[in-house]
Structure 1
Amino acid sequence: MDIPVENFLARLTDPEPSVRQLALIEIEEIAAATASDEVLEALVARVRDDDPTVRSLAIARLEDLGDPRAVPAIVAALEDGDEKVREAALTSLREFRTEASATALLPGIEHPNPEVREAVILALRDHRDPRATKPLVRATRDETARVRREAVITLAYLRSPESVSALRERLRDADPGVRRVAVGALDFFNAPVLVPDFIDTLGDDDWQVRREAAIVLGRSKVTQAIPPLLSALEDPYWQVRKEAVSSLGKLGAVAATEALVHLLDDLTSDIRKAAAQALGELGAASAHPALERLAKGDPDAEVRKAARHARDAIASARAVH
């Protein structure tokens, strides 16, 4: 469909919202014309339209253009009074992935509105622009927990050594959600020097943080983690105990064999399943009778399956040797 740009621009300022809406829908069919500065300026103006549907459509069309000059206007829309407009702004910002658009987004990390700061940091995540490292490090000390959390997660994507110190600080954050994502973010660095930090985190007040620490320690491949993981088998939350069990298996903790065999009788099926899997990884011959019993008589089908696999793995290992 050949729609003159002049006609489109005139309809964008029509007093009837439905006319402006239809014009923004039809602009998709005149892609060649949308490269002009005049169209860009007209769309930016519609981001401040009285009608929320027009504002949302204008943001979507600016996303189609992909011109980084539109980014400040879309950032401003993150404060819009209409939830759908705010959602449209965030969605669009995540699609602007050029160096120029990242440049336009960076100042938003220090915007006065915490909701805007949070949204901008989320939008920057897909850019993985190293220039964001320093302002994101500052954002890890933001007064708003949600902003700190998004800053920590985004720094994990960047994996800059400059951020390690700030991320370690967040292991002691007042908000448990921030502490939890800090554990996961530091895991990306795969640095044995961080293992003591993860061990300390096994004593965190929040069970989800302890659970995350138990998972990360299993990936550390550091035997120093075995004693604290053994202690974590006494954690009051089964979710933490389960991950401690799995990590002991991954670390080849032969010293945990007796405790793991005991856990084959645990009341929680997930614990029994994890213990069976860990014993299979350890190749613990002494566990064979208990696994045989579990494979035949456990009330949970998943546990029986895990026990069979572990039993067969142990038998195969013994046959090889």
Structure 2
Amino acid sequence: MSQSLNSETSTVDDAILQLQAANDELVQRVNEQITLETFDSTDEEVLKQLVEGLGDPRGLVRLRFAETLGEIGEAATPFLIAALGNHPNVVVRRAAAKTLTIISDPSAVPNLLHAFLNDEDTVVRSSSAGALARTGEASVPALLEIIASNEHPEDIKGHAAWALAFIGSEAAEYLYQALNAASLDVRCAVIGALGHVAQEQSDEKSCSLLVSALTDPEAIIRTEAAAALGQVNYPPSVPHLILALQDRDLDVRKAAINSLGKIGDRTALEPLQTKLDDSQEVIRVLAKLAIAQIERQSEADDW
């Protein structure tokens, strides 16, 4: 019995080694062809083999296959899409999503969305969200729909909001339009994304919209806007953030204090000092920290 088991194990090991050797030869050969510009991107059989190589048990080899497919580009998209949607090996589905991140082909958006919303594997879903983010503008309408929908769980909406923020300036026109959406979730996501847009390109329009959002009827929007202005470090927002120190919502006041500390404008010192006697301990602590932050920045500027 033991001899039989050993024989079977040896046969399996030999098969794995042969497959790995074939994968090594394939990826080396294709890379040489790409370098010499002799690779035939219409060779469907080779493209299928390359996608199967994403299931290699060796992580570095999977990475080589992904990079090779990334070099091939959009010609590989249909085969990666097929693997993402149907491959029984979860390792291949994960690697296919990650490879589509490299290629960033807009034609893959519908399939990436399906995997993001429906695949049973969390890594496939998160990798598909990453690919949607990297694909950029073509993903934005669908991401906004996901955030607005009541059918999707909070983790899916959170990934969609992250992807929207990652896309940033490419999504700017969509974001401007969506700022007045009926969905509060969409408006929150848009405020966060506008902060990224403003950081990326010092976009005056985005900064102005964030300032305007400090007076939004919804406290969560005011909070997000106050926090974003601190990340952007937009000095013209200081007077508006000072006004936000009197907001009726505690989270808005906290965000305004933190942002004033980050921006470091000395005109905020006196309003912040009045908060050292606030009835809320958290406000007193944050005000003290913000004052110290501004004073440190002032000392550094003097040098």
In the superposition, the TM-score normalised over structure 2's length comes to 0.60
Aligned mate of 2:80, from 53, 66, 74:
74
CA distance in 2, matches of 1:261, 1:161: 39
Asked if 1:123 is matched to 2:131, the reply is yes
Contact 2:180 2:187 in 1 (8 A): no
Asked if 1:42 is matched to 2:57, the reply is no
Aligned pairs (5 A) from 1:266-281 = 267-268=281-282, 271-272=283-284, 274-280=286-292
1:4 maps to which residue? Answer: none
Between the two proteins, the alignment pairs up a number of residues equal to 251
Change (3 A) 1:244 1:255: same
Q: Deviations over 1:21-64 (max 9, x none)?
A: 434533235543235645333344677xxxx777x999656414
Deviation of 1:136 (Å): 1.8
Identical-pair percentage = 22
Counterpart residue identity of residue 33, structure 1: R
CA distance in 2, matches of 1:28, 1:46: 9
CA distance in 2, matches of 1:122, 1:155: 10
1:235 maps to which residue? Answer: 249
Counterpart residue identity of residue 164, structure 2: V
Counterpart residue identity of residue 287, structure 2: A
2:145 partner SS: coil
Q: Deviations over 1:215-247 (max 9, x none)?
A: 123333224523542124x5345xx54432122
Radius of gyration: which is bigger? 1
Deviation of 1:186 (Å): 0.8
Contact 1:195 1:225 in 2 (8 A): no
Contact 2:80 2:100 in 1 (8 A): yes
CA distance in 1, matches of 2:141, 2:291: 42
Aligned mate of 2:240, from 208, 225, 241:
225
- Tell me, which stretches of 5 or more residues in structure 2 are unaligned? 1-10, 34-38, 120-124
Change (3 A) 1:19 1:201: farther
CA distance in 2, matches of 1:58, 1:75: 20
Asked if 1:133 is matched to 2:137, the reply is yes
Q: Deviations over 1:252-284 (max 9, x none)?
A: 335514423325x9644xx5553224324666x
Instruction: Name the Cα RMSD after superposition.
Output: 4.4
2:228 maps to which residue? Answer: 216
2:173 maps to which residue? Answer: 162
In the superposition, the TM-score normalised over structure 1's length comes to 0.57
Asked if 1:198 is matched to 2:213, the reply is yes
1:32 maps to which residue? Answer: 28
CA distance in 2, matches of 1:23, 1:278: 63
Deviation of 1:139 (Å): 3.6
Counterpart residue identity of residue 184, structure 1: G
Aligned mate of 1:86, from 93, 104, 127:
93
Aligned pairs (5 A) from 1:172-183 = 173-175=183-185, 179-183=187-191
Change (3 A) 1:262 1:223: same
Deviation of 1:92 (Å): 2.8
Runs of 4+, deviation exceeding 6 Å? 56-59
CA distance in 1, matches of 2:191, 2:256: 15
Deviation of 1:133 (Å): 2.0
2:246 partner SS: helix
- Tell me, which stretches of 5 or more residues in structure 1 are unaligned? 1-15, 284-308
Counterpart residue identity of residue 137, structure 2: T
